[in-house]
A and B are shown apart, each in its own frame.
Chain A
Amino acid sequence: MATASLTEYLFFSGLLFAIGLAGVILRRNIIVIFMCLEMMLAAASLTLVAFSRQRIVDGLPDYDGQMLVFFIITVAAAEVAVGLAIIVALYRARKTISTDDLTSLKN
């Protein structure tokens, strides 16, 4: 049975990263920007797991890559909790979450 190769996994994770990057540049809603950031983190995780599966150590996949993904997921969860709390505090203070209106640090 034919299976997908490392190149295909890397290509699709790169594509997902590029889509996330486009979203961060294009969107004005700060929550959607945050979601696109999460997507870029997840794409990087896919790359790590693909390399971990490709590199065989003593007959088993190299689990160091998957440990890194474990820690990435934990840090992402903490980051989302704090980030969304900041967004709610921002919305309370300014009544907007559009990046077009949040320009008080400009000039």
Chain B
Amino acid sequence: MPTILFYLFAILMIAGGICVVVMKNPVSSAMGMIGSFIGLAALLIGLNAYFVGTLQVLVYAGAIMVLFIFIIMLLDLKKEEGKEYGGSSVAASIIIPIIFILIMIPVLSAVNKDFTKLDGHALNAAAEKLDKNIPADSHIRKALTGSSDGSKNVDPNKATLPDVNLIGQKLFTEYNFPLQIVGVLLLVATIGCVTLSKKLHGDATDPDEDQRMAKTLAKSTDIPKVTITANAESSDKKA
């Protein structure tokens, strides 16, 4: 990624992050968060991680932020706005991150490397070292060699990084068991959400509501019973 684009998206990411912390209105915070995630996704794409960058936009900026904004709108939070922050919490929120940045300085000065270039020749060379189990006509080989049949005729100008295919290949072989565990985790989270948002028996928001609901239910079950018996009688007469 060219340096100017890197700085553009990095500043978008940091500015969005500052918006989240500084804005009083939670909706503005959520909007800043979306900007921050879009900048972050652009940085990930600049690192040749196209799949993870796309996932970042779809899951974080799409699904998770919609959920956040939905909950912010559901709970009326206007009255929380006017509060002032105490001096000690402001001081702690400035000093602790600064200490964190200071700890980071020796790490960053020890790491001083440029990224290896992933150009066409490097991708052609990588195709040679691929796992033997990957068949010759697979999309991974075709993309890495840049040829239509995935074998001898390498073309550095047409070679691309088959990011999604490589991740998928790894996900369903090496990481197959963790993937199934994550499936169970999502199921448990779904059940947990349903259980948490179910109305509790001791919930005293409207005590009459249960009785009214019981009456409506009783009426609605009465009507079909009558029709069913009438139908049964008429069919008996016919018989």
The judgment on whether A and B are partners is yes
B116 contacts which chain A residues (CB < 8 A)? 54, 56
A42 touches B182 (CB 8 A): no
Smallest Cβ-Cβ distance to B199: which chain A residue = A92
Q: How far is the CA of A88 from the CA of B13 in the complex (A)?
A: 29
**Which single member of B29, B33, B90, B185 contacts A78 (CB below 8 Å)?**
B185
CB distance from A93 to the nearest CB of B (A): 8
A35 touches B197 (CB 8 A): no
Residues on B close to A: CB < 8 A? 1-3, 6-7, 10, 13-14, 17-18, 20-21, 26, 29-30, 33, 36-37, 40, 43-44, 46-49, 51-52, 55-56, 59-60, 63-64, 67-68, 71-72, 74-75, 77, 80, 83, 85, 89-90, 92-94, 96-98, 100-101, 104, 107-108, 111-116, 118, 122-123, 125-126, 129-130, 161, 166-167, 170-171, 174-175, 178, 182, 185-186, 188-190, 192-193, 196-197, 203, 205
Known contacts A19-B14, A28-B83; A3 and B6 CB within 8 A of each other: yes
B114 contacts which chain A residues (CB < 8 A)? 3, 5-6
A86 contacts which chain B residues (CB < 8 A)? 196
Interface size class on chain A is 35 or more
**Which single member of A3, A45, A58 contacts B126 (CB below 8 Å)?**
A58
Q: How far is the CA of A73 from the CA of B125 in the complex (A)?
A: 32
A32: interface (CB < 8 Å): yes
B126 touches A25 (CB 8 A): no
Residues on A close to B: CB < 8 A? 1-12, 14-23, 25-29, 31-32, 34-36, 38-39, 42-43, 45-46, 49-50, 52-54, 56, 58-61, 63-64, 66-67, 69-71, 73-82, 84-89, 91-92, 96-98, 100
Between A and B, 15 residue pairs with Cβ closer than 8 Å are A5-B115, A6-B115, A10-B107, A14-B104, A26-B92, A32-B21, A39-B33, A42-B56, A46-B40, A46-B44, A49-B44, A59-B125, A60-B126, A66-B52, A82-B193
B166 touches A63 (CB 8 A): yes
A79 contacts which chain B residues (CB < 8 A)? 189
Known contacts A1-B2, A78-B186, A88-B197; A59 and B71 CB within 8 A of each other: no
CB distance from A49 to the nearest CB of B (A): 5
Smallest Cβ-Cβ distance to A100: which chain B residue = B83
A34 contacts which chain B residues (CB < 8 A)? 68
B60 contacts which chain A residues (CB < 8 A)? 38, 42, 73, 76
